Chains A and B, each alone.
Chain A
Amino acid sequence: MKYVIILFVLMTNYSHAIIAHSPADVWSWANSAYQEQQWDEAITHYKDLDQMNLGSPELYANLGNAFYKKGELGEAIYYFKKSLKLDPSNKDVKYNLKLVSKDKIDDYDLNANTGIESFWSRTLAIFGADNLAYLSVFCSLLTLIGFGWFLLKSTSRKKRLGLNFGLFSFIVGILALWMSFTAKRTALEMNHGIVMAKKVEIKGEPNKTATEVFTLHEGTEVLIKNRQEGWYEISLGDNLVGWAKMSEVRAF
């Protein structure tokens, strides 16, 4: 009986050990699997990291690469887009996305139609919500120094300097704070989607029997405007609006 318990304890410990790999290990396994062209294995490891609730622009970019190598266009575009959402400045990912997009059937570029909006969200994403938050804290400190200088110093020249400095810092700080929250909101909202199915019939209403208004193919990016019981209301600009099944479009 004793031995059974020991064995049991050993087993539980062992299985625990399997689960608790460090993310760095999983990351390097995934990369070496990719290096050895074991696409499926690489994808599994990368997805393990995702399961650990971890994420980074590089993780998604590598997943995109692996899926492309495996020949899964929709998945590849989805992860490249996801990577670019976190870090829109990565040139390699942009290049890869452009290259991969050549295999798409639909010749449609969502960004071309929603340029201004994406410029703003891109700017925010390039700064990064957290970086903007750090900036806001820093500006807050500078405000303290500036106004403190103003309050504590006696000569009018120094006071004026302190006042201007403090005022400027305060304005920048508030701006950074606001941008930081906007960036966070943008990052969290999943209002873009990629068509994952080979072919999707976009319906006029969210039900199976509704008339088909247009057809989309794998890899095409759409805007998600609404969600309703298994259906996304999607848009590709003003004229192309319709409903797609959630199983066929993946939001990011």
Chain B
Amino acid sequence: MNKLRPHIIFLLLVLFTSTGTISAQSKKFKTSVSKDLVAVGERFKYIIHIENLKGNISPPAFEGFKIVGGPMTQRSTINGHPSTDFTFFLVATQVGTLTIQPATLTTTTGSKKSNKVTIKVVEGKEEVITNSKQRNIGRNEDKNLFARIYLSKTKVYKGEQITATYVIYNRYDYRQFKNYEFPPADGFWKEDVNLGEIKFSDKLEKINGIDYQKAVLEKQILVTQKTGKLKLGPFKFDAIISAGFFRNKSIPITSNIASVEVLPLPSPPSDFHGAIGNLDITVSVDQTEVNANDAINYKVEYSGSGNLKFISAPKIKFDSDFEVYDPKLDDQISNSGSGMRGSRSYEYLIIPRYAGEYTLDPLSFTYFDPKVGRYNTIVTDTTHIHVAGGESSIGDHSNRRKNDVQLLENEIRYIRTDTDLKERNHFFTGSTIHVALFSLPLLLLLGLYFWKRKEYLESKDITGTKIRKAGRKALKEINKAEISLQKGEKESFYESVFDAMYNYLSEKLSIPNANLTKEKISTELAHRNIDSSIITSLMDVLNNCEMARYAPRSKTDDERMLQNADNIIHHLEKNLS
């Protein structure tokens, strides 16, 4: 049946090709193979290429070969010329140099033969079918197309890594696979392995005596995270296969469900931090003889196969004389089909600040080896570092390094718990008490000023005026006395002259009336450099007045005395300051 199918398809396909408009140029009809040296059982392609031709094609009898797939048709247009490729998948069944006879094209004008193809077939190994018990095809499955999930182990320790492989077995002339649906890896930590392009391998695989094309769709490295029976799958996809001429059929494919039994780890030692696999640790420094303040690279490297990505930075206590920077992580881990493998290293930049001999304590690393089911501890060597005196710290151990205080996290500063709560929008400024307190001293000052001014005026200006007024007052009194004299009122005349003189002198000399005696007047005036004739004249006037009040005299004497008094006052006004 398999052999008949291509012929039928062929006839029809070429008819289709003939309907196109064909120019007479560059007619081609040739055959070729993808490999001309193959092993027995190795798949290869046989291609018939037609260009600008129409007719029926008869493929050759493939003697010594077996058709395992195809024909696939691929139509294209090159520079406006229609061309068609028919591809057969063949497998050689016998060793030797085999010839594939030409294909025949029957057109309306006659028939045409293509070229022969010669292939050398060598002894090949038929692919050994392993794990045959896992490869039993389920009863309800399509025997021509099915999918499988394989786990590399069925019994592991928690944390151990296993590989899950998603495989498709196919015997159909398929078009396309799509809508892949991989199962969620519950209970696993998953890492995909990059396989590149998905394709069917050229080698066939025999399962239950039937050859299948095999494609590895996906590989995943799974690290078990839970104990117990963990299940993975199924994974699903839709296969588009050719179902006769021009008709495609979509078949939903569901794989098996793989399971693995996860055993708990035996009780771990205290320094076990989850490293599982076949691992090793090495510690290295790039230099052991340095100057102070020179940088040293201290590298801790974990290598081997296992859950390397689960190994965190080691806790190392460096000497406090070292300035240590955060380690730089460097992963050289590859995800191969056999799991994670490679190395993870932590590189510390350390700077010794002072000269001296330092020892870096050995590191101990404990991991679980699932192969033997035991914990292993590796202790590294002690590293010695000799630090010579650098420029900045020659023989000076007292000059210890000051720790830089660094802000680690940006956190807002804490609240204040002390406060002085005040009435909102209440100000002392502009309040009545403020205005009062501000103006009071100034008002007091103003008061003080006026008080001092008054005192000054009283002590200076006002007495001065008084003195000036005294002269006028006295002269006025003299005038009054003259009137009294003319009227003949003798008594009041003398009284007026006497009072005028006395009051005048009292004010002029600033001596109260009661204390003013004639002796005092004469000494005071003499003291103030007044002419002695004036003083004598004044004394005469005063004496006359006193006497006249008790013994009246003649009129002429009176007039002369008045004249004298007038002169005396005028004189004193001028000379008495």
Contacts and interface: CB of A to CB of B under 8 A. Distances in A.
B424 interface: yes
Nearest to B413: A92
Contacts of B444: 144
Contact of A132 (B413, B415, B429, B441): B429
B412 A68 contact: yes
A27 B421 contact: yes
Nearest to A57: B419
B445 A188 contact: no
A6 to B, nearest CB: 36
A136 B413 CA distance: 36
Contact of B421 (A59, A177, A180, A187): A59
B212 to A, nearest CB: 60
A130 B429 contact: yes
A49 B413 contact: no
A184 interface: yes
B419 A133 contact: no
A147 interface: yes
Given A69-B412, A180-B430, 5 more contacts: A49-B421, A59-B421, A92-B416, A136-B438, A147-B445
**Which 6 residue pairs of A and B lie closest in terms of their CB atoms, listed nearest first?**
A144-B441, A58-B419, A58-B416, A62-B415, A55-B424, A133-B429
A151 B452 contact: yes
7 contacts: A53-B423, A55-B421, A62-B415, A65-B415, A96-B412, A96-B413, A144-B441
Contact of B425 (A28, A56, A181, A188): A188
Contact of B438 (A61, A177, A183): A177
Contacts of A65: 412-415
Given A65-B412, A130-B428, A181-B429, A137 B437 contact: yes
Given A59-B421, A151-B452, A180-B429, A133 B412 contact: no
Contacts of A1: none
Interface in B420-451: 420-425, 427-430, 434, 437-442, 444-445, 448-449
Contact of B430 (A31, A99, A184): A184
A54 interface: yes
A23, A50, A140, most chain B CB atoms within 10 A = A140
Nearest to B415: A62
Contact of B449 (A54, A100, A151, A177): A151
A28 B415 CA distance: 12
Given A34-B415, A137-B438, A56 B448 contact: no
Given A144-B441, A151-B452, A134 B428 contact: yes
A242 B23 CA distance: 74
A187 B428 CA distance: 13
Given A140-B437, A144-B441, A23 B421 contact: yes
Interface in B238-260: none
B417 interface: yes
Contacts of B414: 65
B410 interface: yes
A129 interface: yes
A58 to B, nearest CB: 4
A141 interface: yes
Contacts of A23: 421
Contact of A141 (B420, B434, B441): B441
A142 to B, nearest CB: 8
Interface of B is mostly: loop
By size class, the interface of chain A is 35 or more
Contact of A140 (B417, B419, B442, B452): B442
A104 to B, nearest CB: 15
B442 A61 contact: no
A92 B413 CA distance: 6
A34 B419 CA distance: 15
Contacts, number: 107
A230 interface: no
Interface of B: 410, 412-425, 427-430, 434, 437-442, 444-445, 448-449, 452
Nearest to B418: A58
Interface of A is mostly: helix
A237 interface: no
A187 B427 CA distance: 10
Contacts of B415: 31, 34, 58, 61-62, 65-66
Contacts of A147: 445, 448-449
Interface in A1-25: 23
A95 B448 contact: no
B576 to A, nearest CB: 28
A225 B196 CA distance: 66
B415, B424, B445, B448, most chain A CB atoms within 10 A = B415
Contacts of B419: 27, 56-59
A143 interface: yes
A95 B437 contact: no
A249 B416 CA distance: 27
A100 B412 contact: yes
Contacts of B438: 136-137, 140, 173, 177
A121 B445 CA distance: 33
Contacts of A57: 419
Nearest to A53: B424
Contacts of A59: 419, 421
A148 interface: yes
A102 B410 CA distance: 11
B421 A56 contact: yes
A66 B412 CA distance: 10
Contacts of A136: 434, 438
A126 B421 CA distance: 17
A179 to B, nearest CB: 10
B418, B429, B448, most chain A CB atoms within 10 A = B429
A147 B424 CA distance: 38
B441 A140 contact: yes
A115 B436 CA distance: 36
B419 to A, nearest CB: 4
A59 to B, nearest CB: 6
Contact of A148 (B416, B423, B445): B445
A138 to B, nearest CB: 9
B442 A129 contact: no
Interface string A73-92: 00000000000000000001
A129 B452 contact: no
Contact of A184 (B412, B429, B440): B429
A137 B438 CA distance: 5
Contacts of B442: 140, 143-144
B427 A133 contact: yes
A105 B127 CA distance: 65
Interface in A166-197: 173, 177, 180-181, 183-184, 187-188
B445 A130 contact: no
Contacts of A132: 429
